[in-house]
Amino acid sequence: MHEGYLPTAHGPVDGPVEYILLPKLHQERCIVLFDDLKVSRSARSKSHNYQLSVDTAFDEVVEKCLVQHGESWLHPPIIDSFKHLFRSGGTGQVKMHSIEVTHEGKLVAGELGYSVGKTYCSLSGFTAKGGSGSVQCLGLALLLHERGFDFWDLGMGMEYKLKMGARQVSRADFLQMLRASRDLVCNQLSLKATNASCFLVPRFRIGSYVRVRTPHGKVGRLADLQVGVVTGHCGVHFKVRLHDSTDTKECIILPVQQLDDVCTEDVAQRREHTREDGSVVISGLPGLPLLVRRAPGWTRCRRAPGKRGAGASKKTRVGDDKTAGTGSDADMQEAATPSCAQADHDAQHLSLGAGNGQQRHAAGGGSDRTAATVRPVDQTTGQESDDARWNRRKGHHIQWNAGALRRRQMRLVLFQLLTKREGAQNLSKRAARTLKKLRINSARQDMKGGEGGVVRLGLCS
């Protein structure tokens, strides 16, 4: 293994049980250089359903490989040697590994392999569920790149390996690459069960704007605005085109540790505010709605048709004042009866309102408001509880506001970048159209609010 041989074995078909160890060295070796890795969209989308781990179920992976491929070359003596190497932690720079992919707690894909310094070599694998094999291969490749391995040895070439970005190299070239990396110390490959999407789904998509977090040789010229756009993925690294007025097509490859999002995400840290009446409010961005959790005792129901004049609102609020509105005592009693089926579980009604309009609705008053009635919550229906409904809507509200905040802050980034490139007379036709739209929208907001279009568009820091 340390010299580049793949261990295999040969056993008798008939006759006495004797096994022969056959070191194998291909004339051409199929390897993966991680910058050339191609991750398919289907594997990215399927990765959310799988868990990836390393060195957690070695014996089970061996059994699954034997079930799928039979005892073709994994004869008992060589299996015992692999298990001994795995349990002893390896010898020198050679260490045995097992890669596992699970779905709903069940092992559905995996492989056996070994590492030699900064080189990883695959031996055998299995798949028990459609799509799990591609998730296992691509997840392993990205994990190897993240842990600092130089390349991945796949043995002999096959079509699915070439589609993944592998290439064929001669025996001499392979041995030269192996000798350059086999004595280097690499990070541990062991991994507890982790969602495969953490490796297959990149943090920044192609076309995303990013800000360079740490100094870089080619970024020094952009001290005032270190912003670029992601143009491609190189394994776990990102290919970034810097927005420099002198050369806008220049690209550099950076790890994720040197990149940051151009938009802040402080919207997730918003605090809840409790009013005097007991209702809870989470404010949105300026001009965007509030999320309101009504106080216990507040309810909304529908009255029976024909009890009010035509054109009157069908929704009514049950307040705390006995004589609110113009409804009679019979109307108030009917509004509180169990026939209003849609209000059985609204003792703590959750609503997504719009700014001041929501506050006016919560304040009470109006001609169709009726007397106060506290409705008990029916616990026997098995419907969603108020706390669960609140948490669900709260999460949706925060996520929705975070998206709106990102869009507003992105306008600032685009405005700054395009204005700078316009001054350098390096603006494409598409960028000129985008800048024109930003200025038009800014002027419209300026005419409506009078606060300055750039400010109302969110183009201020």
- pLDDT tens digits, residue range 240-250? 887 654 445 67
Determine the CATH number of domain 6-200.
3.40.630.70
pLDDT tens-digit map of 231-269 = 999 999 999 887 654 445 678 889 988 888 877 655 555
Sorted by sequence, the CB contacts under 8 Å of residue 87 that are 6+ apart come out as: none
Q: How far is CA 261 from CA 3, 47, 109, 166, 258, in A?
A: 44, 23, 34, 31, 11
The phi-psi region of residue 297 (left if phi > 0; otherwise alpha if psi is between -120 and 50; otherwise beta) is left
**Under a CB-based contact definition with an 8 Å cutoff, are residues 193 and 162 in contact?**
no
Sorted by sequence, the CB contacts under 8 Å of residue 123 that are 6+ apart come out as: 6, 7, 111, 112, 113, 114, 155
Please give the Cα distance from 36 to 24 (Å, whole number): 26
**Under a CB-based contact definition with an 8 Å cutoff, are residues 280 and 274 in contact?**
yes
**Under a CB-based contact definition with an 8 Å cutoff, are residues 184 and 177 in contact?**
no
> pTM of this prediction?
0.67
Q: Helices 429-449 and 386-423 sit at what angle, rounded to 10 degrees?
A: 120
What percent of the chain clears pLDDT 90, i.e. is strictly above it? 34
pLDDT tens-digit map of 394-445 = 888 888 887 787 777 788 778 877 887 788 777 788 888 888 888 887 787 6
Please give the Cα distance from 55 to 188 (Å, whole number): 11
Please give the Cα distance from 199 to 101 (Å, whole number): 13
In the predicted model, residues of the chain with pLDDT beneath 70 are: 13-16, 214-225, 243-249, 264-270, 286-288, 300-382, 445-461
The domain locations on the chain are 6-200, 209-261, 294-377, 395-456
**Under a CB-based contact definition with an 8 Å cutoff, are residues 29 and 153 in contact?**
yes
Please give the Cα distance from 194 to 201 (Å, whole number): 13
Please give the Cα distance from 98 to 126 (Å, whole number): 11
Q: Which two tokens stand for residue 254?
A: 């950076």
The pLDDT of residue 16 is 62
Residue with tokens 């980034």: 413
